[in-house]
Amino acid sequence: DAGVIQSPRHEVTEMGQEVTLRCKPISGHDYLFWYRQTMMRGLELLIYFNNNVPIDDSGMPEDRFSAKMPNASFSTLKIQPSEPRDSAVYFCASSDRETQYFGPGTRLLVL
């Protein structure tokens, strides 16, 4: 298995632009998680899905952030409009109910 796939790996954008991060989970996993990692706040859970349904989005920082999972093999995290404080590494992880497996992350820089 290829593991969790994220794209792009790096994204540089200007403040106010829309950013879309993509994730393909491991086949057969029914949980999908989005995390954000910063020096100041460490690893934070933003939202997670079970069987494509959002279960807990309490970690989403504000309305500028949205996430979707239209099918079992694809999820997006969108930031609109982006701000410099959104600069971070965003990780997607999928779970087989026992263990979460992480993707390589998307390093986002908002100028």
Partner 1 sequence: AQSVTQPDIHITVSEGASLELRCNYSYGATPYLFWYVQSPGQGLQLLLKYFSGDTLVQGIKGFEAEFKRSQSSFNLRKPSVHWSDAAEYFCAGSLQYGNKLVFGAGTILRVKS
Pairing of strands 53-56, 65-71: unpaired
Q: Which is nearer to partner 1, 9 or 18 (CB)?
A: 9
Q: Which residues bind partner 1 (CB under 8 A)?
A: 4, 31, 33, 42-43, 45, 48, 50, 55-56, 91, 93, 95-105
Alpha carbons 82 and 102: distance in angstroms, whole number: 24
Q: Residue 38's closest CA among 95, 97, 90?
A: 90
Q: How far from 45 is each of 2, 41, 61, 76, 90, CA to CA, in Å?
A: 23, 11, 10, 15, 10
Nearest distance in Å: CB 71, partner 1: 20
Q: Which is nearer to partner 1, 15 or 43 (CB)?
A: 43
Nearest distance in Å: CB 31, partner 1: 5
Nearest distance in Å: CB 73, partner 1: 18
